[in-house]
Amino acid sequence: MKSYFNRITVRVYSLAAVIMLIGMGFFAAGISERKRLEREIDAVYSRAFSELVSCICSINTSLEKMAYATSPEQIAAVSSDLLTQVGFSKSNIGQLPINNADISNMQAFLSQSGDYAYNLTQKAVTENSITDEERENLNMLLEYSGKLAEQLVAMQDGINKSGRSDAVIKIIGSGLKSGKVPKLSNFDEIEQIFSDYPVHVKDNAYKMLDGQKEITANQARKKAAEFCGIKGGESKIKNKGTANLFINIFNFEYNNKFIQVSQKGGYIVNYLADRRVADQLMSDEDAVSTAKAFLLEQVRETEIMETYYIIENGMMTINFAALQDGVILYPDLIKVGVALDNGEVLFYEAGGYLKNHTLRDLPGDIITGEEAGKAVSPMLKINSVNMAVITADSGKEEAYCYEFNCSNDNGKEYIIYVNAETGRQEDILVVIDTGRGKLFI
């Protein structure tokens, strides 16, 4: 009998040992998987930061070229490069975890560099000249871009010398300090480059905020909680202070969610939920419907339509434009990002809508669609026509246009905007189908 119990005891201990080993195996596998994901995330951040440095250096070079360019053709060529690099810079910044850093002045610099170069291009083409004052402004942008490029290059060099995979996360947070390199700057310190940057844009007024009263931080916190669908009160949301993002805003944070609320009017300006998205389980159509329903509930906006979308990292980002009597108001954009695994809204950006949305006094005396169509190249086939308001390149802030959706003999798509009052071409967009959405360039 004793031998029998001994055998049972041995089996129990053996089984326990096996279970323990299996458990340790799962634990080790879990640690291994977590480390793998951390390495992947670090690699994404490192690539985004490296590309940001390259883009800023290219912006600096383009601004330097533009300062000395004299022909409209050369200015237009340099401006095109600059606008591309500004777009890439913003994209790379968006891939970095810098939600808690105030980089509004740096972002303002990037936007104004692109806008100013574009406006100078149009002026050079129509007037064949650039004034001394405009060149002085270019030199000012060049000076700031030089300082920014110099500091970012120094940071990149330090990252490379440190040999640390988490170096980018460290410099974004508190600054990297390694035995191989001195302490590097972080993004809060980079923003100090622009501490005296003149953030003056003539169209800086946000029309939706005009005449609105300022709200308190507690009122803003309540609006943020309602937007996030947080049950149990707004006390769960952390107040992360205020910032100036062209307008004064309150910053809030809740778990993986980051929310910005305007101090005037209490509108949600930006929202981001940071999480990994699994495989796509929703159709594109269902994702668009989900975003529309979200806007109807949150913004109470019924006169709105989706214009285009793109899918990246499991999230569909849809651009919605407001409508007025069937006319598409492209400056009045709201962007909504929907996770394609469960339909959760992960991203919301209403800057264009808050800045531009108002009732337009649309002209009644316009040319016919047939007359406007004469401004479309005969090498293009017109597939459909809409009426739209766009940001103009002809000196006026906006233009009321016929929007011609066209294609060539090879099926490549183009969008031609023709001024409905003058019959002049206002803009041409090339449509690029990425397979996961369309880009308009």
Record the tokens describing residue 84, joined without a space: 């591309």
Give yes or no for residue 1 having a pLDDT over 50.
no
Query: Burial code of 53-68, b = ≥16 C-beta within 10 A, e = fewer?
Result: bbbbbbbbbbbbbbee
136-153: pLDDT as tens digits? 888 888 888 898 898 888
Stretch 237-255: mean pLDDT: 79
Of the ranges 67-71, 269-273, 361-365, the best mean pLDDT one: 361-365
Q: Delimit the domains of the chain by residue range.
A: 34-194, 275-349, 369-440
> Cα dihedral sign for 395, 397, 400, 405?
positive
What integer pLDDT is reported at residue 202 of this predicted model? 37
What integer pLDDT is reported at residue 338 of this predicted model? 93
Quote the strand ranges of 302-424, DSSP E.
Answer: 304-312, 315-324, 327-339, 345-349, 381-391, 398-407, 413-419
Helices (H), 253-308: 284-298
More confident residue, 205 or 385: 385
Nearest 5°: the CA angle 108, 111, 309 is 120
Stretch 22-31: mean pLDDT: 49
Give yes or no for residue 233 having a pLDDT over 70.
no
Give yes or no for residue 200 having a pLDDT over 60.
no
Poorest-pLDDT segment among 93-107, 172-186, 240-254, 262-276: 172-186
More confident residue, 114 or 395: 114
More confident residue, 162 or 359: 359
Pairing outcome for strands 327-339 and 381-391: parallel
Stretch 304-315: mean pLDDT: 85
Backbone angles phi, psi at 404, to 5 degrees: -100, 115
CATH code: domain 369-440 is 3.10.450
Give yes or no for residue 21 having a pLDDT over 60.
no
What integer pLDDT is reported at residue 374 of this predicted model? 94
Poorest-pLDDT segment among 100-104, 159-163, 367-371, 420-424: 100-104
What integer pLDDT is reported at residue 87 of this predicted model? 72
- The topology (CATH level 3) of 275-349 is Nuclear Transport Factor 2; Chain: A, (3.10.450)
Cβ atoms within 10 Å of 398's Cβ, excluding its own: 15
Nearest 5°: the CA angle 115, 336, 428 is 40
What is each CA distance from 260 to 172, 189, 314, in whole angstroms?
20, 22, 24
More confident residue, 147 or 189: 147
Determine the residue type at 316.
M
Return d(Cα 224, Cα 348) in angstroms, integer. Answer: 12
Same fold, 275-349 and 369-440: yes
Partners of 415 in beta bridges: 405, 429
What is each CA distance from 224 to 103, 170, 249, 272, 393, in whole angstroms?
21, 29, 12, 12, 37
Poorest-pLDDT segment among 16-30, 47-61, 165-179, 183-197: 16-30
258-277: pLDDT as tens digits? 888 999 999 998 888 888 88
Give yes or no for residue 201 having a pLDDT over 70.
no
3-state class of 284 per DSSP? Answer: helix
Question: What pTM, to 2 d.p., does this model score?
Answer: 0.59
Stretch 75-84: mean pLDDT: 75
Split at pLDDT 50, 70, 90, the class of 194 is: confident
Split at pLDDT 50, 70, 90, the class of 9 is: very low
Report the candidate in 243, 203, 244 with the shortest Cα–Cα distance to residue 112: 203
What is each CA distance from 299 to 226, 247, 296, 338, 355, in whole angstroms?
12, 19, 6, 16, 15
